[in-house]
Amino acid sequence: MTGRLAQRHVLITGAGGGIGLAIAEACLAEGAVCTLADRADTPADGVAQLRRRHPDAAAYVAADVSDSASVGGMLYAARAAHGDIHTLVNNAALFDMAPLLESDAASFDRLFAVNVKGMFFVMQRVLQHMVDAGVAGGSVINMASQAGRRGEALVSHYCATKAAVISYTQSAALAMAPHGIRVNAIAPGVVDTPMWNQVDALFAKHEGLRPGEKKQRVGREVPLGRMGTPADIAGVAVFLASDEARYITAQTLNVDGGNVMS
């Protein structure tokens, strides 16, 4: 590692496992200090292990991004731990699916509360902090998805939330450009995380598949021949947070093994 994120404070939501935890590990390895946020009152095992390896550089805060007071507490705790925030990785999200004609308001409200409302207002609060504090070279990285690039019959609400992430990323980037703050997004494809076991179970239920069949199928169908790993996404997040991406803003980078071409 080269210390590309030395003297940077990275706030990561949804950091309890999977992609969020992998991004935290990569940022710490590149010299950043990190505040890891997740809903659990106590950190998950992976976060606890990371904190033991980096006791002075990794802080944890419990937060619900869909709750304004909780978001305020998260930002206060992050600044108390490591000072001004230089990079936000907006990763917290929920997934659900159902046939379109059976999709209900409860699922809609739950997904939009976290994936859109939570994403936007965490971003807004962090951007306001960056502007007020005069953070030089600030960066926001929102987690979109290949699902935000197209509709899917069983995944209408989730697809819509991730399309909103892409749109808000573009608008925020234009608004923040005069302040020298960059806003980008990452659109992962199918990534082998614990969440995909839940996704696979839902596809099995709604498509009449055997457990594990959907996961195997989507991996084979990726042009590069496999599902992604959290580390595949983490490397791109480090790049976008670093000075190497200083002339990149308003972009959503597809990290999906070739599933989406743009």
Question: Please, how many CA atoms are within 13 Å of residue 57, restricted to the half-sphere of its CB?
Answer: 20
Does 76 participate in catalysis according to the annotation? no
Catalytic residue among 76, 158, 168, 247: 158
Q: Which positions are annotated as active-site residues?
A: 158
